[in-house]
């Protein structure tokens, strides 16, 4: 399971109770406000769940705009004759932004503070939690003036998220892996909850939620019990990338980890090398990943420990692997590789740059008695190039690289990298071979990814026939107001 830009502005929606009115919303002394830059408010009318710092007007600009707008509205109210035209509520704007330019710097919201989002003219749009240290300056949770951001709101959305996973019967509920809460897709931006058998892995990706952390965990446990979801252990975590982007300190990370339950003490450091971290066996959880038994490292595994978003794709890709020699690039703990072996592949080679991940992959292979799988450590680009130089061939090549584009400005470079990977894979495939190629970069659209594949086929003079174009597993829903939540692309194709 992820530096998000604003999507392209949508057409303004018709006025309804959830969109701003033509009258500026009065703000109380307790309400901090932020204004968008001119014409940067359209995505938030469509309920996009976060606001980048680049979309927000500076306090001085907002104050000047507010002063001008207020003067214009006040002038309009004085154009009445004989009291025949009364000033309407909000015609004269009252907001902290109405301070003089010399005062506005003292009005910056603090981390986790509830903030009213206004458009450039002062019309109310939404309400969110602020983080002045983050590029995602404001995470939006309410689009109704009547809905405050409070414990009741989060409790309701946590309950709704877990209930959403029970809309269809779940197989192997006691031992399966699943995503219970998916941040923006479940209207709780900054919170991700995965379940591995009886263990919940809770990841905070927004500093603005940390002050509510213990409460949110309690509500997750309540919802898990209500919907018969096994839960004996909890691990709470903040990954290093999130800490950097959100301005989360080491002390705050330690506090988050202290919210864990039923997990071993923090891992100890090896005597010979201060950088060597030894994880306790208590940090490892076995769960059923489709028909495989898989282990994940709760403390130091990527994301929340595993890649549940690919679970359905592992099973589907395996259907094409019977009798084939398979190369799985960026295998991590062996998801695609082990599924291919279980699906009847004659030989599988899994490649990854992380020795720790490969050790877990080998352990998973032994647990499932899949002797036809071997794992090798190498850089994905270097490995593909070397195999091409040696004229190796495979009946199937699987590409599941990490995210190449963390921001929109990186999309072009990411597409070039995807192109190099896929062209190298095409070099290893004979006519009739199977290519499984994935992208988890949310800023790379599905159309751009497919166009990259077209270009790779053209440059290698190969025809690529798409058998399936897939997304993440069903427990990773997509919010239509947040196109970035439709982040995972998985194409299964035959190459001629």
Give which of 150, 177, 492 is closest to 321, Cα–Cα.
Answer: 492
3-state SS of the chain is CCCCCCCCCCCCCCCCCCCCCCCCCCCCCCCEEEEECCCCCHHHHCCCCEEEHHHECCHHHHHHHHHHHHHHHHHHHCCCCCCCCCCCCCCCCCCHHHCCCCCHHHHCCCCCCEEEEECCCCCEEEEEEECCCCCEEEEEEECCCCCCCCHHHHHHHHHHHHHHCCCCCCCCCCCEEEEEEEHHHHCCCCEEEEEECCEEEEEECCHHHHHHHHHHHHHHHHHHHHCCCCCCEEEEECCHHHHHHHCCCHHHHHHHHCCCECCCCCCEECCCCCCCEECCHHHEEEEEECCEEEEEECCCCCCCCCCHHHHHHHHHHHCCCCCCEEEEECCCCCHHHHHHHHCCCCEEEEEECCHHHHHHHHHHHHHCCCCCEEEEECCHHHHHHHHHHCCCCCCEEEECCCCCCCCHHHHHHHHHHHHHHHHHHHHHCCCCEEEEEEECCCCCCHHHHHHHHHHHHHHHCCCEEEEEEECCCCCCCCCCCCHHHCCCEEEEEEEC
CB 163 within 8 A of CB 227: yes
CB 469 within 8 A of CB 450: yes
Residues counted in the chain: 496
Q: How far apart are CA 215 and CA 197, in angstroms?
A: 23
CB 113 within 8 A of CB 134: no
Q: Is 199 a residue of the active site?
A: no
Q: How far apart are CA 317 and CA 296, in angstroms?
A: 21
In angstroms, how far is the first alpha carbon of the chain from the final one?
Answer: 33
Question: Which residue is catalytic, options 330, 440, 482, 490?
Answer: 440
Q: How far apart are CA 479 and CA 187, in angstroms?
A: 8
Distances (CA, A) of 402 to 317, 333, 358: 18, 13, 15
Q: Residue 195 pairs with which residues in a beta bridge?
A: 178, 200
Q: Which residues are catalytic?
A: 440
């Amino acid at each position: 399971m992820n530096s998000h830009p604003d999507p392209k502005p949508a057409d303004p929606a018709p006025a309804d109770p959830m969109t701003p009115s033509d009258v500026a919303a009065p703000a109380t002394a307790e309400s901090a406000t932020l204004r968008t830059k001119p014409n940067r408010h359209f995505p938030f009318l469509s309920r996009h769940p976060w606001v980048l710092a680049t979309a927000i007007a500076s306090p001085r600009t907002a104050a000047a705009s507010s002063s001008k707008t207020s003067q214009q509205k006040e002038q309009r109210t004085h154009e009445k004759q004989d009291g025949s035209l009364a000033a309407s509520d909000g015609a004269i704007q009252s907001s902290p932004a109405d301070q003089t330019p010399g005062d506005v710097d003292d009005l910056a919201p603090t981390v986790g503070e509830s903030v009213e989002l206004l458009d450039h003219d002062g019309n109310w749009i939404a309400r969110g939690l602020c983080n002045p240290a983050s590029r995602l300056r404001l995470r939006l949770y309410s689009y109704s003036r009547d809905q405050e951001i409070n414990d009741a709101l989060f409790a309701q959305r946590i309950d709704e998220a877990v209930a959403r996973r029970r809309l269809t019967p779940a197989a192997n509920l006691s031992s399966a892996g699943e995503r219970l809460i998916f941040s923006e897709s479940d209207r709780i931006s900054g919170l991700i909850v995965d379940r591995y058998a009886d263990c919940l892995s809770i990841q905070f990706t927004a500093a603005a939620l940390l002050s509510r952390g213990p409460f949110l965990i309690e509500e997750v446990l309540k919802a898990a019990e209500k919907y018969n979801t096994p839960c004996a252990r909890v691990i709470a975590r903040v990954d290093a990338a999130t800490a950097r982007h959100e301005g989360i300190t080491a002390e705050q990370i330690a506090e988050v980890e202290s919210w864990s339950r039923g997990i071993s003490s923090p891992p100890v450091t090896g005597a010979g090398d201060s950088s060597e971290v030894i994880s306790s066996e208590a940090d490892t959880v076995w769960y059923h990943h489709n028909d495989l038994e898989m282990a994940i490292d709760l403390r130091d595994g990527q994301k929340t420990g595993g890649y549940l978003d690919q679970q359905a794709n592992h099973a589907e890709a395996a259907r094409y692997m019977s009798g084939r020699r398979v190369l799985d690039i960026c295998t991590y703990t062996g998801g695609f590789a082990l599924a291919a072996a279980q699906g009847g592949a004659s030989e599988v080679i899994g490649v990854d740059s992380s020795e720790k991940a490969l050790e877990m992959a080998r352990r998973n292979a032994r647990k499932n008695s899949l002797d036809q799988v071997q794992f090798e450590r190498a850089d994905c680009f270097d490995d593909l190039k070397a195999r091409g130089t040696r004229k190796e061939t495979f009946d199937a090549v699987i590409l599941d690289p990490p995210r190449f584009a963390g921001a929109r400005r990186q999309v072009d470079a990411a597409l070039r990298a995807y192109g190099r990977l896929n062209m190298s894979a095409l070099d290893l495939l004979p006519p009739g071979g199977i290519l499984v190629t994935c992208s988890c970069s949310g800023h790379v659209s599905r159309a751009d990814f497919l166009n990259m594949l077209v270009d790779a086929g053209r440059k290698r003079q190969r025809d690529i026939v798409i058998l399936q174009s897939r997304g993440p597993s069903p427990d990773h829903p997509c919010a239509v107001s947040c196109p970035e939540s439709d982040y995972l692309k998985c194409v299964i194709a035959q190459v001629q």
